[in-house]
Chain A
Amino acid sequence: MRRQRHQLLLAILLAFTTAGCDKQTAERSMSASPTSDNAHVSPSAQDYNNLGVTYQQAGKLGEAADAYRQAIELVPTLVEAHHNLGTVYLIQGKLAEAIAAYKRVIQLSPDMAEAYVDLGRAYGFAGDLDGAIAEFEKALTRDTTLVHAYYGIAVAYRHKRVLSKAMTALERAITLKPDFTEALLELGYIYRETGRFAEAVQAFSTIHRLHPQNAKAHHELGICYTQQGAYREAIAAFERALQLSPAAIETQNLLRVARARLEREK
């Protein structure tokens, strides 16, 4: 019954994609990751995979997972369907299922470095930080330029409070990708946590330089300045953040703190 419903939806979807409605999405999904056994991929399985991608992009995760599972049922070796299914599980918070899906991807395509990164992320979400680091490192043995693997290692080490290793990984990621905003943010947090405020300011300022409209960078800069007792600079940073994101209650709160302290210091 469920399969019939999907086939109906598939027919409708195919009509749309043929008309160009969501064709780009489907094409992107089809070429998202390599398959280990493309020769055996039946069009029907690929279509289910594409349907899953479309559902996923529409936020319909349950339907997306159903579609991916049907693709896998038709072609159990369809790597991208396993990979996409793992991603849906990860978004849904079904971590055990996500880990199983990514492991299957790696089994089918052992050299697919990105799969190790995703498996590492799943382990990280599940709280297995050592497992996460191991997978990120496996990814790097296959591709030393994978910035998200360095980033994952950094986040895991930060959670383990091994800050020196986290910093090393972040610095490597930023060397490879100087405009890597998330890594710059993480590096800024660690510098700030360890009292290296000047370097934290530098990291957040770099984000500001690269992305002037990034309110987060101004917000974080404001926190740094507050912690250094530089309340005028903090107020300026929070005000800039609020110009970009006026409804940010947290920034409004911290602006009140900085203003109150400046008033106290007068």
Chain B
Amino acid sequence: MHACLKKSIFVCIILCICIQARASVKFVDVTEAAGIHFKHTPGASGKRYMPETMGSGCAFLDYDSDGNLDILFVNARSWDALDATETPHLYRNLGNGQFADVTKAAKLNVPMYGMGVAIADYDNDGDVDIYFTNVGENRLFRNNGDCSFSDVTEFANVGDNGWGTSAAFFDADRDGWLDVFVCNYVEWSPEKDLSCTVDQKHSVYCTPTVYTGQSCRFYHNQGDGTFEDTTFQSGLYNPKGKSLGVTLLDYNDDGWFDLAVANDTEPNFLYRNNGDGTFTDEAIVMGIAFSEAGKARGSMGIDSADAFNTGGNAIAIGNFSNEKTAFFYSDAGTHYFSDRTDAVKIGKASHRTLTFGLLFFDCELDGSLDIFAVNGHIEPEVEQYQQHMSYAQLPSLFQNRGDNTFRDIGADAGLRAVSVGRGCAYGDYDNDGDLDLIVSNNGVNPNYRSAWLLRNDSDNVGNYLRISTVGTQSNRDGIGTKVLVTSGNTVQQRWVRTGSSYCSQSEMPLTFGLGHNGTVAFVKVIWPSGQIDTYETLRANQHITVIEGESPK
């Protein structure tokens, strides 16, 4: 009896230790407290213009290079250009948990019908520049280095006039200068607008099936502040896309960044970088064009990662309601992808949601990548037409269980507010090592705000190593750099990237969750130039900056 009691107490202690050791994931909405009062203005006037329900994105960036992440929310505007006063909003991180709206001082108070944003140092001068994708002319704002920006669109020749959505900077030909790939959606203008209905009485927002697609664009950086539109020459011209999201990955492990593009109601693209300035679409043969059953889905946001730390590639794509979020996976060394949505257990949980932005990140720093997704229908009155469907929806947080499956812990993690989610991004804005989130919601609604800043307040998170890259031969941001971190028995690999999610951009520094490991045994940094730098025995819980070619000999 006595022995049993002792055994029970021992088991209880062990259980308590185990329970305490597991991270308790928690996100807290600190938007208002942080001084962020952004209002998204889609210009909706009852005409049901399609762009009104599609935007907009958001980004984490350090525009003043002070080491604190700032926040940018893209905004649309009213359809009457003369009346338009709405602009994107840039919030400067004051370093004390507070943000100040510096839009005007930064000279970004420019009305645009904004959709997305890509951030990078395209001119290699040491500060980040901003590319806005719009319905109508896209805009490139060069960072003046004095906390302000100048519109250089015309000079740089990147003002595509289509319906731009997501975009990504990367050095396609590894010449040291960042090129830019821009997704375009459909041929639409107020003059070309079509009326759609589900009951012959009420207008609803159209789906893209009624419009002609618009080709994505590719601009090659010429190194002198200008770009050349090489969409045709590079093999990237394809007007069938209706593209909404793009993620950079190296799916064939040849050292060149490839592009996976999410298309709405059309087959997705997977552009193999041939290394000679041209690309070849291999989505059909590689297996990400369609669902397992052969269906082209309504794809929006997209991200990619080595989700299970096996050297394989995962591509997650947010899809329309009743289509499930897609999870394509290719094992290391086998380049065909298979649709493993149900096998990884995100199919059922994502079946009813309409997912726009989604991203891989390690929310509890255990070394396993989780998935955050924002959801929201396109039709405000969907409840009238479809049972068990809602306009505003809960976000999803799919926690990686470490056994090649995920579980939605969103509600348990404090994500209990609905919204019409569109963009999302991660970044460590409070410099505490864990990753926080921003979300951009569509429109202004009494039930939810247009912007969310979700601070990661998880308990018992793991150790971490954060790495920023500075290229010398390669582009200055080090975009395209592959970093492998060995700690314990795990090798994690990540790439410095832009793009991913939906119309949004996360921070560029890489965050490696280390779990209980207090040191990192080995770091290998493979730069786009081919330079390889290595670092050994680094202590955990620090943010290091690696400079190309300057690792210890």
Contacts and interface: CB of A to CB of B under 8 A. Distances in A.
B295 interface: yes
Chain B CB count within 10 A is highest, among A93, A250, A252, A263, for: A250
A92 B387 CA distance: 9
B285 A261 contact: yes
A193 interface: yes
Nearest to B338: A227
B38 interface: no
Interface in B202-226: none
Contacts of A253: 267, 284, 289-290, 294-296
A159 B343 CA distance: 11
Contacts of A196: none
A161 B347 CA distance: 11
B345 A250 contact: no
Given A93-B387, A253-B296, A161 B345 contact: yes
A254 interface: yes
B7 interface: no
Contacts of B287: 257
B285 A250 contact: no
A8 to B, nearest CB: 27
B45 to A, nearest CB: 32
A263 B285 CA distance: 9
Contacts of B296: 253
A260 B283 CA distance: 10
Interface string B330-349: 00000010100011010010
A250 B348 contact: no
B201 interface: no
Q: Place the interface of chain B in its size category.
A: 10 to 19
A242 to B, nearest CB: 11
A94 B342 CA distance: 27
B35 to A, nearest CB: 40
B294 A249 contact: yes
B293 A250 contact: yes
A249 B267 CA distance: 12
A257 B287 CA distance: 7
B292 interface: yes
B285 A254 contact: no
Contacts of B387: 92-95
A249 B209 CA distance: 15
B294 A250 contact: yes
Nearest to B345: A161
Contact of A250 (B295, B342, B343): B295
A257 B284 contact: yes
B553 interface: no
Interface residues of A, number: 22
Given A94-B387, A257-B284, A260-B284, A223 B290 contact: no
A243 B317 CA distance: 32
Interface of A is mostly: helix
Contacts of A46: none
B475 to A, nearest CB: 33
Interface in B249-295: 267, 284-285, 287, 289-290, 292-295
A223 B289 CA distance: 15
A214 B290 CA distance: 22
A251 interface: yes
A227 to B, nearest CB: 7
Contacts of B292: 223
Contact of A93 (B284, B345, B388): B388
Contact of B348 (A159, A223, A256): A159
B336 A254 contact: no
A94 B386 CA distance: 11
A264 interface: yes
Interface in B276-333: 284-285, 287, 289-290, 292-296
A250 B293 CA distance: 7
Contacts of B338: 227
Interface in B450-481: none
A254 B294 contact: yes
B290 A250 contact: yes
A159 B348 CA distance: 7
Contact of B290 (A92, A254, A263): A254
Given A159-B348, A193-B342, A261-B336, A256 B284 contact: yes
Interface in A225-266: 227, 249-254, 256-257, 260-261, 263-264
A174 to B, nearest CB: 22
A253 B342 CA distance: 21
A188 B390 CA distance: 33
Contacts of A254: 290, 293-294
Nearest to A222: B294
Interface in B156-201: none
A223 B285 contact: no
B290 A257 contact: yes
Contacts of B293: 223, 250, 254
Contacts of A256: 284
Interface in A150-192: 159, 161
In the complex, the 5 A-B pairs of residues with the closest C-beta atoms, listed nearest first: A250-B294, A260-B285, A93-B387, A254-B294, A253-B294
20 contacts: A93-B387, A95-B388, A193-B343, A223-B292, A223-B294, A227-B338, A249-B294, A250-B290, A250-B293, A253-B284, A253-B294, A253-B295, A254-B293, A256-B284, A257-B284, A257-B285, A257-B290, A257-B294, A260-B284, A261-B336
Given A193-B343, A219-B294, A250-B295, 13 more contacts: A94-B387, A159-B348, A161-B342, A161-B345, A161-B348, A223-B292, A227-B338, A249-B294, A254-B290, A256-B284, A257-B285, A257-B287, A257-B290
